[in-house]
Amino acid sequence: MLGFNTFLLALAAIFPVVNPPGAALIFLGLTQDATPETRKILARRIARNSFVVLICALLLGALILQFYGISIPILRVAGGIIVALAGWKLLNEGSSKGAAKKAIADSDAEILNQAFYPLTLPLTTGPGSISVVISLGLSNGFQVTLTDSLVFVLACLLAIIVISLIIYVCFLYADRVQSLLGHGGTDIAVRLFAFILFCLGIQIFWSGASVLLRAVIGTPV
């Protein structure tokens, strides 16, 4: 029962932040010039990269941040800026072919080189999802027994696998959205989700900046 509840908790926490359907439209806007074969390879690579990023965040995230002396608020501030800039850029460029050429390199080989950055990090699994998964990893310390701890990790691992599969399916069939909506409708949808991406970046930035501001204001001079 603990494993099932943990699985649902992890899935419910990660899915809205990753937002695979919305990310798929951003992916579509940034890969307009890519061939269907290239998009298929990209979808597989992004899903795989997302799995690795989330697993590392779950198992090693807190340790890495502690080693480098990086706090979660700082992670959110830096990541929020990157996400907001990516959303702003796509918002101004839309999904036209000319815009896509500016957003991403012309050749398929160069497009594939961007599977990790920026298509995986920060556009798919950004600072928001990393922060959520790190928080899940930290909560593992509250488990009473070793068995409970193992069940917790396995349940979170299963949730991450499901998220990665959903990312793959959404990205693989992103071009179906374009066929359904048409060029004009796709451009509107891409700009809408680009605006949401920009707002999400600002929200991530503010969630970190507000904690830092409270710490500064609350610190006696």
**Angstrom distance (rounded) from CA 22 to CA 170:** 9
| pLDDT the model gives residue 102 | 45
**Angstrom distance (rounded) from CA 190 to CA 12:** 25
Is the pTM higher than 0.85? The answer reads no
**Angle formed by the axes of helices 127-139 and 174-218, nearest 10°:** 70
Contacts of 141 (CB under 8 A, 6+ apart): none
Listed as ranges, residues in the chain with pLDDT below 70 are 1-2, 93-107, 141-144, 219-221
Is there a cis peptide before residue 16, judged by omega within 30 degrees of 0? no
Q: How many residues does the chain have?
A: 221
